[in-house]
């Protein structure tokens, strides 16, 4: 029996391979045409030279679309689930298989129950559930056809489960199969040698296909000047916008090449690294792609200009997207200044000056619809400026139009509105609704404060928000005993109209500072202007690679949060006091040592004292890591500890302007600085900064709130008065009484006078 | 052993008594058990419980004497808790509520008294500084005042617009509530003004909240509903503000003494316009006028008969009164007076409606001001009615409640007088001839010629005065239908004036005058807003339309303080002139009927008819006026079905927002109670006597035909006869009623102002200690003397409101519930049989639950009396028929 079944399986496999090989041929043809087109534009030498194969193992929990536990649960009503993995452009997969671990339900009928595996829609293997496998964890090896592996791939599992011969109910809870998190995908990859062609820029320098962070070395000649660093800053910020949530790390090298990975070289005619000193000089800014000597597939991007001004021009042109890339080299012949950005217009932030339609928030086609017996929730991301000021009574109107197929009359079906994992309201799906369109008007009343007076953490809406519309259909398959009807359930479909909208208009920007949390989450207050035109960066050391690394990583972080490169930032050398004072109306981002001009007031001293004190003591205790609020002046001043490698982010009001903020990234050593630079990469750290001081030690952080608080924003004076009284009904009562008393005393006097006058002789008014 | 036997015997006795009175076996057993338990655990037989044992039915008015019901023990427990914890009326001297008494004592000691001292000290200081010395405020101080006023304006604007979290809103509201309690307890002028101001702030806060947060316009229907409701609310808000302004400090004007020299007294013409009233109604007025205390040569009385009836002419000639008739009957009453104005020439004109009987002192009391201040063109006195108005009569209120018109005539007019905006009310007023002729006589353009005339006088710069003493009394409207007719006319007329001669526009008025007149006029627009309030919860209950777009709690946190503050402030202001909720009931009754006339008048003022209110009729039987109450029944049916629909939703709809539905149900129940109370008035009680009786207390000497005489008390009088209380002479009652047997001829001597007046009479009714006498008045002299002794006594009406005790909120709510339920009961009694059977059960259940509620003590009831009439009445209200 078993032999027969395995033979059948083999046969089936064979047939499937045969039938799909036709398709595989098609893809090969397509590749061939692709290669042909490459051949046209590049030298023929650039074809792949396969040298070594590296094996990479992806455990399931690292792939996309799996459950939070890393495993996949299949059941009668969700029989098909899939996972996604991506392959880089410059890699080719030569060998691939999957080590599958799964547990079938013990009540399944053997062999009639099966598990099918598909890769990109093509069946790879069908696995019958054997009797001895029931209820146990089973492992099997599934070979995957490497020919059909593309950049983006989908592995799909289909569960065909049967538990009885008679009257099967697809909702039955005994119908399940669990694919374990242990399941691993094994890919044998070879690197391709890519042609030096900029037309695919930002590939290969910045990764946009997989979920990995980009590591891109920035190489400067000895003693880079401010302009060169500014050029690199613009470039790094641009890299941040492209890689977005994946994160970028920019290790900095002075006058030398990194041991591995791609690199960007900034050089001018007069000042260039040693390994490129013989490179031809140029009279216009040039961006060129070249192989890194001595490596197999690593590339470098050479940004070359007659002087360092030219480097800035080149980088701005690159970031603005007005460089035409074709072939290995691009000259920047003309450069157009574009208009400066207006406040709060970062592309990643929702535009709160007008109604936000749901359509404008979608990232991919079909995001606003869903189908299935239990349709997957529809999710939307909404990024808001972090300084929106909501008080009770601010009403965020959500105009929601949704359609749904009629639910069954039995049981309750509902649509749940969940914001940031909190249930807001649930709306019934009416089985009798003749029209399938409902218009709802939901003011998000109540405790809805992004910025709330006492505590930032209880806020309900945040800077980054996830809206989830979860349509829950009640499922009912009933059949009486001995009277079995086959019910073929129809999948439900739900849709949200893209014209549904939020209304954030008439909401002010107003927030309490210093608040490192807004800096950490949204680059605030620098991000008010998306091109960082109101930002001055103060660098204490131009030659310190760890500081430069931190700077570039920070800018990449802000760029990824805003979706716009820092075209108009200003970089100042900390030694130039005059320049710092001239930039007094800007927000300061200080890397390294804080210059005296910016730290010689009392408030700064308090903040810095506290920082120093906590750097030396805080990590010695075993207190849980939580937000401590302390407004007291730190008097303790311990001189030196033997513990190094600690960095801190501090923030306080700029000593040069009341409305501006200073954020400084400081450390006790270059290890501390490198530590921060690694933690500041987007999505690569569990640290959350908050308060005015965040002390970071490896992957731990402690937050303190010290120093003066101040408020920035465009809140009108009367709103500020409301704000002051927001939580003091007692005070309002006294104000009420006060005005009542004044009014009453005045009225008393006037009325008494009138009364007396009325009872006195009245002179003839006519004669007067 | 003996005592146990005694005990059993008493139990047995009680059982038998209860059974005889009709209690069921179960009820008797339960109550006996309860009684035994009570005696077992509480030493009720001791002397400290004497008070309660002796006055059991005073403390527990819901328990029927000797007729216990099954759930009476539960009622007793609830009532006991209520009595212990809730303070009864301030007049309750029994001090039963020990717990609240302690709280009140502490409150008085630590909060009220310091506050009173402070405010009194401060008011004295202000008085000393500004009024006594009569110093004007210096320039610097004036600037300071301005600054303070500005600061007060800013802070109050802040208090109005400050957004709050719901929690903080509640805290704020509760704080304000505590302040209200404090201010109410203090109850002096300063605290009243504070109350007014805070009430305005809270009301404005509510309106601001409604405007800024709760109006949504998604669908046309929702938009329509919410805007309609909001406009209605704005209207009530404006009326609230205006009425606060009007009565912020009422002027208590006393009569001004006339000069000693009689030559300086002005000549007075008395006009008594009549149209179709019977001679019966008119003659007392004429007789009283003849008897007015004024030099005969300076007094001329004119009967202005628009009906040109010859018997009137003859009668006038007989008693010596001038008779004027017209050939053409244009402009009704106004034309009639204007016609007489041309013929006569007295310096002052006193106008009485033909059913008003002036007291002798009328002219002396009113003309003093006219002589003293030549600019005063009008002196108005309140209208007082000696017959019961339809409300008193149909609801059997027996004078325990202020009359419907008391609020305007005894209170608002005083407020108007402060602002020199006293309104002429058509009767019981004295007008100076010259100004009246200057404005072209009584205004004829509208159907409320009186108010229009006073407006014109004020425009000319003349002032007016109001003397708050009832110096004449008349007949109130007989039936509800008549009352409604009268109000329709007033409403139409006032709106006509508002359109034709808008007080807000035009020359000659001060701003307060404009506001007072405007308030009086737009007050009559209350019909539509009231109907809107009665219908407002229905869109939500039926169609889920949010008329007020806010969560239930939020609505509560804004509406309740608004209602609470305005009710409390109004109650503080109006004191014993209008009780809680009555204004709403009166408005509701009129709302349906005056809506259309006022709207028509507002759009096209020339369309208006004059309908005369019938007076002097009598109902021969009790009947329910279905025609009048039709619209209320419609509203009741709508509200009732809304209520049932809401209940259905709560129970069967899984998605029902229960808190919001509950709030709407509360609103609907309130509406239903108001509507019930309104329809309770529609049951017309029968009125046996055409001439109503007036209660009084006069000493008199009663002589029997055989010369036997006795001192008696006259307890009531009417135009025809007297009611006499016989003294309780021990063992001689038999004798007395034998002496004064029915049909026997008697004489009665009444002593007035050192003179004895002797009238002949016949005993019409002879009871155990009461006699009814018909007075036989043969000639003019005795007629005048009889009127002088009864209706026209100088201080006859001045103590009318003395025995009305101010209302407490608990009592007000209780009265509202009683009246509302009574209305439904009455309606049921008069419905066709089938409907009655159908609704009976529901109503029974409602009444049962209501009977479980505690009842506030009725302090007007005599304490320590074993059985009283009132007790039975109370039970009647609960049990219905």
Question: What's the pLDDT score for residue B127?
Answer: 63
Asked whether A471 and A437 are in contact (CB, 8 A), the reply is: no
- From chain A residues 387-426, the ones with a CB under 8 A of any chain B CB are 391-395, 412
Flag the least confident range among A112-126, A218-232, B753-767.
B753-767
**What is the per-residue pLDDT across B680-730, written as a single tens digit (0 to 9) for each?**
887 776 665 567 788 888 888 888 877 778 888 888 888 888 888 877 665
Residue contact B179–A733, C-beta within 8 A: yes
Q: Name the minimum distance, in Å, from the CA of B143 to any CA of chain A.
A: 13
Nearest to A721 among B152, B158, B193 (CB): B158
Closest CA to B570 of B244, B235, B230: B244
- Structure tokens belonging to residue B475: 């007949």
B293 catalytic per annotation:
no
Q: Which residue has the higher pLDDT, B751 or B624?
A: B751
Mean local confidence (pLDDT), A563-574: 91
- Structure tokens belonging to residue B80: 């006991």
What residues does A117 pair with on adjacent strands? Answer: A125, A157
For the beta carbon of residue B156, count every other beta carbon within 10 angstroms: 23
Q: Between chain A and chain B, how many beta carbons pairs sit less than 8 Å apart?
A: 153
**What is the per-residue pLDDT across A269-286, written as a single tens digit (0 to 9) for each?**
888 888 888 888 888 899
Say how far apart CA B772 and CA B423 lie, in whole Å.
41
Q: What chain B residue is nearest to A764 in terms of C-alpha separation?
A: B375
Mean local confidence (pLDDT), A571-596: 90
Q: Name the minimum distance, in Å, from the CA of B364 to any CA of chain A.
A: 18
ipTM over 0.85: no
Q: Name the minimum distance, in Å, from the CA of A518 to any CA of chain B.
A: 24
Mean local confidence (pLDDT), B815-834: 80
Q: What chain B residue is nearest to A747 in terms of C-alpha separation?
A: B193
Question: What's the pLDDT score for residue A37?
Answer: 37
Confirm or reject contact between A748 and chain B (CB < 8 A). Answer: yes
Q: Name the minimum distance, in Å, from the CA of B565 to any CA of chain A.
A: 14
Among B291, B306, B417, B858, the one annotated catalytic: B306
Q: What's the angle, vertex CA A29, arms to CA A27 and CA A31, rounded to 5? A: 70
Say how far apart CA B796 and CA B790 lie, in whole Å.
8
Flag the least confident range among A82-91, A328-337, A530-539, B606-615.
B606-615
**What angle in degrees, to the nearest 10, is found between the helix axes of B480-500 and B582-603?**
50
Residue B131 — pLDDT band, cuts 50, 70, 90?
Answer: low
Question: What's the pLDDT score for residue B267?
Answer: 93
Nearest to A736 among B201, B376, B463 (CB): B201
Residue A495 — pLDDT band, cuts 50, 70, 90?
Answer: confident
Say whether pLDDT at A43 is over 60.
Answer: no
Residue B815 — pLDDT band, cuts 50, 70, 90?
Answer: confident
- In this prediction the pTM is 0.76
Q: Which residue has the higher pLDDT, B540 or B98?
A: B540
Q: Please give the share of chain B, as a percent, with pLDDT higher than 70.
A: 89
Contact residues on chain A for B248, CB-CB shorter than 8 A = 747, 751
Flag the least confident range among A344-353, A435-444, B188-197, B585-594.
A435-444
Residue contact B251–A759, C-beta within 8 A: yes
Say whether pLDDT at B169 is over 70.
Answer: yes
Give, rounded to a whole angstrom, the gap between the first and last alpha carbons of chain B: 46
Closest CA to B455 of B485, B488, B406, B496: B496
Say how far apart CA A650 and CA A671 lie, in whole Å.
18
DSSP for residue A260: S
**What angle in degrees, to the nearest 10, is found between the helix axes of B2-20 and B25-41?**
140
Contact residues on chain B for A455, CB-CB shorter than 8 A = none
Asked whether A350 and A267 are in contact (CB, 8 A), the reply is: no
Flag the least confident range among A25-39, A207-221, A675-689, B247-261.
A25-39
Asked whether B216 and A445 are in contact (CB, 8 A), the reply is: no
Mean local confidence (pLDDT), B787-813: 76
CA dihedral of residues A348, A354, A359, A363 (deg, nearest 10): 0
Residue contact B152–A764, C-beta within 8 A: no
Say how far apart CA A278 and CA B299 lie, in whole Å.
133
Say how far apart CA B633 and CA B834 lie, in whole Å.
17
Mean local confidence (pLDDT), B286-310: 90
Nearest to A447 among B126, B145, B165 (CB): B165
Flag the least confident range among A1-15, A242-256, A383-397, B49-63.
A1-15
Question: What's the pLDDT score for residue B877?
Answer: 37
Confirm or reject contact between A749 and chain B (CB < 8 A). Answer: yes
Q: What chain B residue is nearest to A391 in terms of C-alpha separation?
A: B163
Q: Which residue has the higher pLDDT, B399 or B780?
A: B780
Q: Name the minimum distance, in Å, from the CA of A343 to any CA of chain B.
A: 27
Among B305, B389, B410, B450, the one annotated catalytic: B450
Mean local confidence (pLDDT), B638-644: 92
Q: What's the angle, vertex CA A521, arms to CA A517 and CA A526, rounded to 5? A: 85
Say whether pLDDT at A729 is over 80.
Answer: yes
Say whether pLDDT at A232 is over 90.
Answer: yes
DSSP for residue B796: S
Mean local confidence (pLDDT), B323-346: 88
Closest CA to A689 of A519, A562, A559, A547: A519
Flag the least confident range among A370-384, B371-385, B409-423, B489-503.
A370-384
Mean local confidence (pLDDT), B110-126: 74
Mean pLDDT (chain B) is 82
Is A382 in a helix, a strand, or coil? strand
Residue contact B197–A765, C-beta within 8 A: no
Give the Å distances, CA to CA, from B611 to A237, A311, B272, B539, B599: 88, 98, 19, 37, 18
- From chain A residues 700-719, the ones with a CB under 8 A of any chain B CB are 718
- Structure tokens belonging to residue B639: 């509200």
Question: What's the pLDDT score for residue A500?
Answer: 84
- Structure tokens belonging to residue B297: 């040569």
CA B439 to chain centre: 35
Confirm or reject contact between A59 and chain B (CB < 8 A). Answer: no
Nearest to B163 among A392, A730, A733 (CB): A392
Mutation target to probe the B interface, by most B beta carbons within 10 A, among A452, A744, A763 is A744
Residue B28 — pLDDT band, cuts 50, 70, 90?
Answer: confident
Q: Please give the share of chain A, as a percent, with pLDDT higher than 70.
A: 81
Mutation target to probe the A interface, by most A beta carbons within 10 A, among B131, B135, B164 is B164
User: Parallel, antiparallel, or unpaired for β A501-503 and A397-404?
Assistant: antiparallel
For the beta carbon of residue A643, count every other beta carbon within 10 angstroms: 13
Helix (H) / strand (E) element for B659: namely helix B658-680
For the beta carbon of residue B424, count every other beta carbon within 10 angstroms: 27
Question: What's the pLDDT score for residue A640?
Answer: 41
Residue at token pair 């905006």: B421
Tell me the backbone φ, ψ of residue A464, rounded to 5 degrees.
-110, 125
Mutation target to probe the B interface, by most B beta carbons within 10 A, among A393, A409, A506 is A393
**What is the per-residue pLDDT across A632-664, written as a single tens digit (0 to 9) for each?**
333 333 334 455 678 889 898 998 988 899 999
Mean pLDDT (chain A) is 79
Residue contact B172–A744, C-beta within 8 A: no
Mutation target to probe the B interface, by most B beta carbons within 10 A, among A407, A718, A736, A761 is A736
Residue B100 — pLDDT band, cuts 50, 70, 90?
Answer: confident
Give the contacts of B184 (CB within 8 A, at least 6 positions apart): B191, B195, B568, B572
For the beta carbon of residue B561, count every other beta carbon within 10 angstroms: 24
Contact residues on chain A for B376, CB-CB shorter than 8 A = 762
Give the contacts of B136 (CB within 8 A, at least 6 positions apart): none
Residue contact A736–B159, C-beta within 8 A: yes
Give the Å distances, CA to CA, from B785 to A25, B724, B733, B758: 131, 19, 31, 9
Residue A209 — pLDDT band, cuts 50, 70, 90?
Answer: confident
Contact residues on chain B for A755, CB-CB shorter than 8 A = 249, 251, 418
Residue contact B158–A735, C-beta within 8 A: yes
Question: What's the pLDDT score for residue B73?
Answer: 86
- Structure tokens belonging to residue B371: 């002589």
Residue contact A393–B131, C-beta within 8 A: no
Q: Which residue has the higher pLDDT, A113 or B124?
A: A113
Contact residues on chain B for A765, CB-CB shorter than 8 A = 375, 461, 463
Question: What's the pLDDT score for residue A391?
Answer: 64
Give the contacts of A768 (CB within 8 A, at least 6 positions apart): none
Residue contact A729–B164, C-beta within 8 A: yes
B72 catalytic per annotation:
no
Q: Is the dihedral of CA A261, A267, A269, A271 positive or negative?
A: negative
Closest CA to A176 of A210, A134, A216, A141: A134
Question: What's the pLDDT score for residue A250?
Answer: 93
Flag the least confident range among A38-42, A296-300, B643-647, B802-806.
A38-42
Say how far apart CA B120 and CA B124 lie, in whole Å.
6
Mutation target to probe the A interface, by most A beta carbons within 10 A, among B155, B462, B545 is B155
Say how far apart CA A640 and CA B70 lie, in whole Å.
87
């Amino acid at each position: 029996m078993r032999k027969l079944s395995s033979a059948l399986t083999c046969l089936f496999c064979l047939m499937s391979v045969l039938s799909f090989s036709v398709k595989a041929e098609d893809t090969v043809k397509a590749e061939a045409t692709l290669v042909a087109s490459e051949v046209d534009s590049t030298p023929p030498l650039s074809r792949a030279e396969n040298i070594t194969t590296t094996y990479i193992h992806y455990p399931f929990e690292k792939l996309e679309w799996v459950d939070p536990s890393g495993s996949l649960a299949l059941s009668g009503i969700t029989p098909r689930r899939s996972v996604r993995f991506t392959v880089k452009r410059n890699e080719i997969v030569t060998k691939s298989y999957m080590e599958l671990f799964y547990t079938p339900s013990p009540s399944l009928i053997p062999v009639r129950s099966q598990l099918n595996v598909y890769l990109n829609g093509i069946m790879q293997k069908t696995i019958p559930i054997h009797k001895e496998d029931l209820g146990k964890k089973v492992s099997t090896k599934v070979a995957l056809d490497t020919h059909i592996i593309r950049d983006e791939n989908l592995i799909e599992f289909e569960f065909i489960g049967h538990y009885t011969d008679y009257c099967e109910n697809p909702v039955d809870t005994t119908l399940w199969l669990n694919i374990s998190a242990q399941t691993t995908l094994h890919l044998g990859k070879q690197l391709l040698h890519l042609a030096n062609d900029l037309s695919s820029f930002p590939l290969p320098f910045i990764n946009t296909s997989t979920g990995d962070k980009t590591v891109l070395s920035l190489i400067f000649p000895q003693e880079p000047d401010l302009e060169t660093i500014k050029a690199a800053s613009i470039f790094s910020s641009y890299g941040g916008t492209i890689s977005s949530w994946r994160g970028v790390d920019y290790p900095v090298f002075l006058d030398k090449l990194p041991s591995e990975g791609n690199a960007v070289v900034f050089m001018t005619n007069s000042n260039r690294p040693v390994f490129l000193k013989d490179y031809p000089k140029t009279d216009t800014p040039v961006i060129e792609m070249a192989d890194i000597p001595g490596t197999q597939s690593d590339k470098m991007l050479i940004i070359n200009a007659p002087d360092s001004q030219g480097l800035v021009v080149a980088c701005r042109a690159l970031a603005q997207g007005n460089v035409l890339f074709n072939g290995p080299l691009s000259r920047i012949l003309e450069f157009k200044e574009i208009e400066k950005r207006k406040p709060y217009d970062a592309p990643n932030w929702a535009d709160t000056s007008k109604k936000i339609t749901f359509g404008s928030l979608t990232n991919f086609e079909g995001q606003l619809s869903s189908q299935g017996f239990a349709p997957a929730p529809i999710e939307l991301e909404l990024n808001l400026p972090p300084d929106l000021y909501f008080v009770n009574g601010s009403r965020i109107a959500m105009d929601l139009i949704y359609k749904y197929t009629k639910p069954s009359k039995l049981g309750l079906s509902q649509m749940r509105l969940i914001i940031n994992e909190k249930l807001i309201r649930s709306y019934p799906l009416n089985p009798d609704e003749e029209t399938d369109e409902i218009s709802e008007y939901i003011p998000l009343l109540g405790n809805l404060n992004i910025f709330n007076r006492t505590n930032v953490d209880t806020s309900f809406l945040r800077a980054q928000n996830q809206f989830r519309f979860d349509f829950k259909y009640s499922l009912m398959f009933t059949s009486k005993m001995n009277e079995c009807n086959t019910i073929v359930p129809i999948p439900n479909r739900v849709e949200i109209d893209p014209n549904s909208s939020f209304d954030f208009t008439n909401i002010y920007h107003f927030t309490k500072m210093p608040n490192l949390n807004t800096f950490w989450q949204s680059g605030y207050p620098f991000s008010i202007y998306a091109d960082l035109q109101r930002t001055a960066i103060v660098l204490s050391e131009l030659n310190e690679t760890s500081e430069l690394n931190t700077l570039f990583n920070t800018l990449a972080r802000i760029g990824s949060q805003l979706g716009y490169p820092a075209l108009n930032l200003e970089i100042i050398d900390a030694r130039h006091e005059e320049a710092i004072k001239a930039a007094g109306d800007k927000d300061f981002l200080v890397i390294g040592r804080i210059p005296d001009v910016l730290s010689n007031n009392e408030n700064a001293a308090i903040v810095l004292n506290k920082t120093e004190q906590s750097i030396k003591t805080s990590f010695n205790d075993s207190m849980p890591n939580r937000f401590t609020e302390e407004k007291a002046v730190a008097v303790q001043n311990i001189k030196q500890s033997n513990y190094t490698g600690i960095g801190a982010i501090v923030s306080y009001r700029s000593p040069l302007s009341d409305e501006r903020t200073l954020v400084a990234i400081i450390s006790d050593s270059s290890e501390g600085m490198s530590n921060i630079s690694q933690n500041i990469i987007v999505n690569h750290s569990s640290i959350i900064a908050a308060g005015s001081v965040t002390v970071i030690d490896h992957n731990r952080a402690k937050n303190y709130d010290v120093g003066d608080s101040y408020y920035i924003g465009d809140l009108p004076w009367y709103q500020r008065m409301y704000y002051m009284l927001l939580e003091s009904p007692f005070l309002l009562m006294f104000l009420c009484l006060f005005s009542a008393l004044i009014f009453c005393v005045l009225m008393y006097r006037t009325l008494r006078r009138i009364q007396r006058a009325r009872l006195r002789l009245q002179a003839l008014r006519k004669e007067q | 052993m003996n005592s146990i036997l005694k005990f059993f015997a008493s139990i047995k006795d009680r059982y038998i008594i209860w059974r005889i009175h009709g209690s069921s076996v179960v009820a008797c057993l339960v109550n006996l058990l309860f009684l035994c338990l009570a005696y077992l655990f509480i030493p009720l037989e001791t002397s400290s419980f004497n008070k309660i044992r002796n006055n059991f039915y005073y403390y527990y008015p819901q328990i029927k004497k000797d007729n216990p019901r099954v759930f009476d023990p539960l009622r007793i427990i609830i009532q006991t808790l209520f009595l212990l914890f809730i303070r009864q009326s301030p007049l309750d001297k029994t001090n039963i509520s020990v717990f609240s008494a302690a709280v009140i004592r502490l409150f008085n000691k630590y909060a009220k008294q310091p506050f009173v001292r402070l405010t009194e000290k401060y008011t004295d200081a202000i008085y000393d500084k500004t009024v006594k010395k009569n110093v004007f405020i210096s320039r610097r101080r004036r600037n300071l005042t301005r600054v303070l006023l500005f600061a007060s304006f800013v802070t109050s604007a802040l208090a109005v617009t400050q957004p709050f979290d719901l929690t903080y809103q509640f805290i704020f509201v509760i704080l304000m509530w505590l302040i209200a309690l404090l201010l109410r307890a203090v109850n002096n002028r300063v605290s009243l003004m504070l109350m007014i101001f805070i009430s305005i702030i809270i009301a404005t806060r509510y309106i601001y909240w409604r405007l800024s947060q709760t109006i949504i316009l998604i669908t046309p229907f929702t938009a329509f509903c919410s805007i309609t409701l909001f406009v209605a609310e704005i209207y009530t808000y404006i009326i609230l503000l205006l009425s606060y302004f009007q009565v912020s400090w009422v002027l208590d004007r006393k009569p001004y003494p006339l000069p000693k020299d009689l030559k300086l007294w002005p000549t007075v013409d008395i006009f008594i316009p009549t149209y179709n009233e019977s001679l019966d109604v008119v003659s007392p007025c004429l007789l009283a006028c003849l008897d007015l205390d004024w030099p005969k040569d300076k007094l001329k009385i004119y009967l202005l008969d628009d009906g040109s009836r010859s018997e009137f002419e003859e009668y006038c000639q007989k008693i010596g009164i001038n008779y004027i008739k017209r050939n053409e009957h244009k402009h009704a009453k106004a034309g009639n007076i204007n016609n007489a104005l041309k013929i006569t020439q007295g310096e002052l004109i006193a106008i009485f409606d033909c059913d008003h009987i002036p007291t002798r002192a009328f002219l002396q009391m009113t003309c003093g001001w006219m002589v003293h201040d030549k600019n005063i063109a009008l002196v108005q006195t309140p209208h007082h009615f000696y017959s019961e108005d339809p409300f008193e009569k149909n609801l059997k209120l027996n004078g325990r409640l202020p009359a419907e018109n008391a609020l305007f005539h005894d209170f608002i007019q005083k407020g108007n007088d402060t602002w020199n905006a006293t309104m002429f009310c058509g009767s019981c007023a004295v007008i100076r001839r010259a100004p009246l002729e200057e404005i072209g006589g009584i205004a004829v353009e509208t159907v409320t010629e009186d108010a229009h005339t006073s407006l014109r006088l004020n425009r000319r710069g003349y002032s007016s005065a109001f003397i708050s003493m009832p110096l004449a009394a008349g007949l109130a409207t007989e039936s509800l239908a008549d009352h409604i007719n009268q109000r329709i006319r007033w409403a139409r007329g006032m709106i006509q004036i508002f359109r034709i001669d808008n007080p807000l526009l035009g020359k000659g008025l001060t701003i307060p005058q404009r506001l007072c007149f405007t308030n009086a006029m737009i007050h009559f627009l209350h019909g539509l807003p009231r109907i809107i309030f009665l219908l407002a919860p229905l869109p939500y209950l039926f169609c889920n339309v949010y008329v007020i777009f806010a969560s239930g709690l939020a609505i509560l946190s804004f509406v309740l303080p608004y209602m609470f503050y305005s009710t409390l402030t109004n109650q503080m202001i109006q004191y014993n002139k209008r009780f809680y909720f009555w204004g709403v009931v009166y408005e509701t009754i009129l709302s349906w009927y005056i809506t259309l006339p006022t709207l028509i008048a507002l759009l096209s003022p020339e369309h208006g008819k004059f309908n005369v209110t019938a007076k002097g009729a009598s109902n021969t039987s009790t009947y329910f006026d279905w025609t009048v109450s039709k619209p209320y029944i419609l509203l009741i049916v709508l509200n009732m079905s809304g209520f049932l629909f809401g209940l259905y939703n709560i129970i069967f709809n899984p998605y029902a927002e229960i808190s919001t539905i509950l709030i709407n149900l509360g609103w609907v129940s309130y509406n239903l109670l108001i509507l019930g109370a309104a329809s309770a008035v529609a049951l017309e009680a029968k009125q046996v006597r055409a001439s109503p009786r007036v209660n009084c207390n006069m000493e008199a000497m009663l002589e029997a035909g055989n010369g036997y005489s006795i001192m008696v008390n006259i307890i009531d009088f009417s135009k025809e006869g007297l009611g006499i209380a016989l003294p309780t002479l021990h063992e001689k009652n038999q004798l007395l009623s034998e002496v004064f047997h029915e049909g026997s001829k008697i004489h009665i001597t009444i002593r007035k102002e050192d003179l004895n007046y002797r009238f002949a009479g016949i005993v019409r009714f002879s009871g155990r200690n009461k006699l009814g006498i018909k007075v036989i008045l043969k000639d003019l002299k005795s007629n005048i003397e009889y009127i002088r002794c009864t209706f026209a006594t100088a201080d006859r009406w001045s103590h009318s409101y003395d025995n009305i005790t101010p209302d407490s909120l608990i009592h007000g709510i209780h009265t509202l519930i009683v009246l509302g339920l009574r209305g439904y009961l009455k309606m049921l009694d008069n419905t066709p049989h089938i409907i009655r059977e159908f609704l009976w059960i529901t109503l029974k259940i409602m009444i049962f639950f209501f009977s479980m509620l505690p009842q506030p003590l009725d302090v007007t009831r005599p304490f320590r009396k074993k059985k009283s009439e009132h007790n039975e009445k109370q039970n009647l209200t609960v049990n219905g028929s």
